[in-house]
Amino acid sequence: MKEQFKQEIKTVIEATQAKGDIESIYLVACGGSHAFLQPAEYVLSKETTIPTTVLPSREFITREPKALGEHSLVVSCSHSGTTPETVAATKYAREQGALTVAFAFADESPLEKEAEYTIHYAWGPETDASDLNTGVLYGWLFAYLNVVNPSDKYDRALKALDVLNDVTTKTREQYTPIIAKWASELKREPIVYSVASGINAGQAYSFAICWLQEMQWVNSAYIHSGEYFHGPFEITDFDVPFIMCEGLGKARAMDERAVDFAKKHSDKVYVIDNKDFDMSLIDEDLQDYYSQIVSGVVYRLIAESFAYERGHSLDVRRYMWKLEY
């Protein structure tokens, strides 16, 4: 990881220690950045007793959480650093006395002005995985956990960042031909559902709302693997496509149950099975946490292959950055 990002994380950790007891954590952002923060909520809720909530920025403000105050840590993210809801949510959190930390790609953005501390990350196809948003997020997350409850597990989790790029590069190579086939089969589908749970929930959610709806104008919805049986499974039919993720943690049983049912009733079930990932470079007890980053590589490949097959660039928008909302 770049020295700049390590230093920014160190500064945030020191500020958090200086702040004293953190009694509540809020993770706030919009769209893809909201999805990006969801795994942090998963890990924090499994590893600490600190109540942690992940919310879309506008709802964070409108909800006015009662526990928000001097003993809160509010982590926001905006890639551009300009999304007004996230800038406003960060300002609001700071006014309530919370320690505010922002993740952003952009430098000197409006978000950076509102947050007490900013942790930057890098972006782009040639970027080492440890410098991308999820790599830097995990750099902060496991450093923070090491302060809350020092453990060799978190040291090892931080070391895993050194091999992350090898793991993701290998996955990209492994999945490129597989995904090219999926995209060619799915390119004319009017709707594609996205199903997952556990640590992969954020990836599957952003696949539906960002990659398919926003960037491909393909109808989609994210369905939680457990919730699939509580309404959504009624739309399952031989010609309804599902892209479903099977994780590595305890949530896997929930994912498998959904996949098994869908496969019985649909001929178009595509499974991202995390057991097929080569994660041997990462300690087994950490593989669940890291698997969502690897799933993200596969979801991204699907989006890129869709864009190619459909001749629809991932950069085209009708409304975003064009019209006021």
Ligand X SMILES: O=P(O)(O)OC[C@H]1O[C@](O)(CO)[C@@H](O)[C@@H]1O
| Secondary structure element (H or E) that encloses residue 62, with its range | helix 57-63
Write down the least CB distance from residue 66 to ligand X, Å.
26
If binding is defined by CB under 6 A, does position 214 make contact with ligand X?
A: yes
Q: Tell me the per-residue interface mask from 75 to 94 with ligand X, x by CB under 6 A, - otherwise.
A: ---xxx--x--x--------
**Strand order of the sheet with strand 24-29?**
52-56, 24-29, 72-77, 99-104, 117-120
Whether 90 and 102 have beta carbons less than 8 Å apart is answered as yes
Stretch that binds ligand X, among 30-38, 66-74, 240-248, 265-273 (CB under 6 A): 30-38
Residue with Cβ nearer ligand X (22 or 115): 115
Beta-ladder partners of 222: 194
If binding is defined by CB under 6 A, does position 203 make contact with ligand X?
A: no
Stretch that binds ligand X, among 73-81, 90-98, 240-248, 273-281 (CB under 6 A): 73-81
Q: At what angle do helices 161-186 and 287-310 cross, to 10 degrees?
A: 40
Helix residue ranges per DSSP H, 96-214: 110-114, 133-148, 152-159, 161-186, 201-206
If binding is defined by CB under 6 A, does position 194 make contact with ligand X?
A: no
Residue with Cβ nearer ligand X (85 or 255): 85
If binding is defined by CB under 6 A, does position 236 make contact with ligand X?
A: no
Alpha carbon distance 142, 126 (integer Å) = 25
Residue with Cβ nearer ligand X (77 or 129): 77
If binding is defined by CB under 6 A, does position 32 make contact with ligand X?
A: yes
Residue with Cβ nearer ligand X (99 or 208): 208
Residue 231 falls in which region: left (phi positive, over 0), alpha (psi -120 to 50) or beta = left
CB neighbour class for 172 (10 Å; exposed up to 12, middle 13-18, buried from 19): middle
Write down the least CB distance from residue 271 to ligand X, Å.
25
By CB under 6 A, the count of residues binding ligand X is 11
If binding is defined by CB under 6 A, does position 132 make contact with ligand X?
A: no
Write down the least CB distance from residue 321 to ligand X, Å.
9
Q: Residue type at 231?
A: G
Interface residues with ligand X (CB under 6 A) are 30-33, 78-80, 83, 86, 210, 214
